[in-house]
Amino acid sequence: MYRSDSFSSASQKIPEIESLRTLAITMVLVYHFFARWTPPIFSQTTYPYRIEIARQVSQFGYLGVQLFFMVSGFVILKSLENQKNLRSFALARVKRIFPSLWIAIPVIFVVCNALNQSFIAPIPLSSLLPSLTVLGPDFLNRLFSTNFTWTTGVLWSLFIEVQFYLVASVLFFKFKKFQFNSKLFVFALSIQLIRVILALISTESKEIFDDLLPLNKEIWWFLAGSIYYSLHSQRKNPYLKSILSVSILFNLLLVNLESSGFEIKPIASLIVFIFYLLFYLIISKSKKIRILRSSIFVWLGGLSYEFYLVHESLGVSALSKFNQIQGLAYNLKLSLLFLILVISGLLLISVLIQKLAKKFLHLNKRISPSGD
């Protein structure tokens, strides 16, 4: 278990926030392993198991990505305050993102093409360019009229993360006169206004804007996390709670907004409120969430990035291959046992990727002692 004074140091990690990463990756995992690749979302059943109640329960697990965005908003403001300048912040983000990414993507490319599963394969060689650089395929395709795709679909959120890092660092280091959350709030409102104007002009204009700046649909999650960090740090800004309320309204709107129009989703809306409640309980140091200080949850949270990178492509490919081999000889117990083995294997792969990434950084530091 972690100490009760875990909030005391500005530089150390907050265990409860790390555990939120565990909750987020668990939500995304169950969504991808029980709901995403089966009807009605997908055209055919990819999984070797048929558990309808699990599909229904996990269908809103995609919101785990939005929880990741809230966590990022919290920790990025914390990181910005601990960096000397924009360059040192950018270097820290590069070190965090790219070593694991550069190890995971080639593994995914080789393994998934070797398993040759129809739901993702064949992965084209050209997918490596946007995937290894985290430049969104839609972004590149709009600019250069190309036809790029991701090596693994989960990278869409990483592109948004990188856009947020860029925006947040510029706002923090280049516009120091105003409070960070106020600046981020103005930015969020501005891009929403631009999107509305473009939508009135034409649907294509809005779609181009969404492809070039997908952050516009997720910015309110980052803003909410950033505000909670400021509240936790007891920043004096009378508008913080008001801005937080606006972020809730926008996130509820976007969660219930479909391409066909507004559709109320009670469960999804409830999950949004739970996210905000969890952050409130964390900054309030409530004993009701003591479980979030569990060392296993904190450890899993620290592994969530690497696990996120590999879990869908490698995991669902393995499950799909097993489903193909199993054929009509359906065996639920055997299928669930295989699922446990797949998740265990993914955890092991994630640990290895993380260790290799740390070795790479350590070697690079020895070669270039003048680095960060």
Alpha-carbon distances, residue 20 vs 65, 165, 208 (angstroms): 11, 20, 33
Q: Is the pTM here over 0.85, yes or no?
A: yes
pLDDT given at position 54: 92
pLDDT given at position 368: 45
Domain spans, the chain: 15-367
CB-CB neighbours of 185 under 10 Å: 23
pLDDT given at position 264: 87
Residues of the chain with pLDDT under 70: 1-11, 117-121, 259-260, 328, 364-372
pLDDT given at position 120: 62
CB contact set of 69 (below 8 Å; sequence gap of 6+): 157, 160, 161, 164, 218, 221, 222, 225
N- to C-terminal Cα distance for the chain? 31
pLDDT given at position 366: 55
Give the chain's count of helices (H) and strands (E): 14, 2
pLDDT given at position 9: 40
Which amino acid is present at 218?
E
Taking the C-alpha atoms of residue 286 and residue 43, their distance in angstroms, rounded to an integer, is 45
pLDDT given at position 7: 39
